[in-house]
Amino acid sequence: MRTVYYTDHEKMIVEEGLSAVEKIFTGDDPDAIARLLFCLDYYMDPYYGHSLPYERELIVLLQNLILSSNPLEIKQDALQLLTDYAWPPFSVLERGLAEAETGRMRLDPSLKQDMIYALNMAKEEAALTALLEKCVSIIRSMREELKELDQVRFGALPQCSIVKYCSGADSEPAGYFKKAALHTWKLEQDKYTPADNSLCHQQKPVSGMFFPQAEQIAALSLNPQDNPIELKDRIVAKVREIEEGEGVLIFVDLFAGTPCNMTALALAELSDIPIQCFAGVNLPLVMEALGSLSQGDLNSIMAHLSEVAPETMLDLRKKLEL
């Protein structure tokens, strides 16, 4: 087993300068060369923060050492330093490979392969960079195609007054934002259970930041372990709990999804309460609805939402003819 170590003596050689290092490299003591190479690993590694003033000349010395008559282990150590801490071109190695091809120099087969690798590191990086750029280009192209496909399937993102307000558009925000100041809203953690981590439960506290006066808001979620029929029963119970005679507006995410289907079943049991339901909802549209509370009755709010997001919102009653 090969054991190599260096001492302060090798550090003194490195710090003394290029001529001291060259004297060891061109000497006839392989052990001294091995110790110095090991010490140079410490000085060339950027982690330790050293900067040798003769690094360029040292790279040439290492290449000459690789082509010398020293033992193969010495040459491999020198080549390791090159590939770890230097970058092509390595002109001395290129000439050595050319001479080996013509038979004027003999190289160990394993060393020759490592030399070819060292000379082609820049080409490999360029090829990898080109490949990554191609992948990025493909992903960007796919993203645009998928974006267009989503708009065809689900409609363009709604540009309602809330979205325009948040994005700094020139148009004046409608509804609540015309006259209201922003409010802060503190989430009281003890009012929410660990099961309330779904998006629908996150919309209520976010809405409360802007509409603290809107108290009749409820959020129901459907978790993987839940029974869908129980969701229908929870919808019926929650509607009857919060309804005060003016009707209830229900939002669901995807048309024909389980929450949407359970809401449709719930509507049949709530024929005595004015209810409207939209599918394809998102947080900006929930906030738009809250901002429209002062505009009139339930039908007026429905008309307003249908106007600001005609390609996104789906009137569940009209769609299902309920």
Final residue belonging to a domain, choices 119, 143, 171: 119
Q: Are 75 and 65 in contact (CB under 8 A)?
A: yes
Both 106 and 172 in a single domain? Answer: no
pLDDT digits (tens, 9 = 90+) for 213-244: 556 778 888 877 778 788 888 999 988 888 88
Confidence of residue 178 (pLDDT cuts 50, 70, 90): very low
pLDDT digits (tens, 9 = 90+) for 80-137: 999 999 988 899 999 999 999 888 888 888 888 889 988 888 766 666 666 666 666 6
Into how many domains does the chain fold? Answer: 2
pLDDT of residue 319: 67
Both 207 and 82 in a single domain? Answer: no
Both 113 and 227 in a single domain? Answer: no
pLDDT digits (tens, 9 = 90+) for 33-44: 999 999 999 999
Mean pLDDT of all residues in 251-280: 82
**What does the alpha-carbon distance between residue 52 and residue 54 come to, in Å, rounded to a whole number?**
5
**What does the alpha-carbon distance between residue 278 and residue 251 come to, in Å, rounded to a whole number?**
5
Q: Are 252 and 260 in contact (CB under 8 A)?
A: yes
Both 114 and 205 in a single domain? Answer: no
pLDDT of residue 75: 95
Both 281 and 206 in a single domain? Answer: yes
Final residue belonging to a domain, choices 119, 147, 179: 119
Residue 280 placed within a domain: yes
Both 176 and 114 in a single domain? Answer: no
Both 81 and 205 in a single domain? Answer: no
pLDDT at 176 over 70: no
| Cα dist from 75 to 65, 66, 85, whole Å | 6, 4, 16
Residue 154 placed within a domain: no
Final residue belonging to a domain, choices 85, 119, 153: 119
**Residue 242: closest CA among 268, 209, 267, 275:** 275
Contacts of 25 (CB under 8 A, 6+ apart): 33, 36, 61, 64, 65
Both 283 and 206 in a single domain? Answer: yes
pLDDT of residue 153: 46
pLDDT at 192 over 60: no
**Lowest mean pLDDT segment, chosen from 15-24, 186-195, 219-228, 259-268:** 186-195
pLDDT digits (tens, 9 = 90+) for 14-53: 999 999 999 999 999 999 999 999 999 999 999 899 999 9
Both 212 and 309 in a single domain? Answer: yes
pLDDT of residue 209: 45
Domain containing 50 equals 8-119
Both 167 and 316 in a single domain? Answer: yes
Summary mean pLDDT of the chain: 75
Residue 40 placed within a domain: yes
Confidence of residue 140 (pLDDT cuts 50, 70, 90): low
Residue 48 placed within a domain: yes
Both 40 and 178 in a single domain? Answer: no
What is the CATH number for 289? Answer: 3.40.50.510
pLDDT exceeding 70 applies to what percent of the chain?
Answer: 67
pLDDT digits (tens, 9 = 90+) for 282-298: 777 777 777 777 667 77
Both 190 and 105 in a single domain? Answer: no
Residue 143 placed within a domain: no
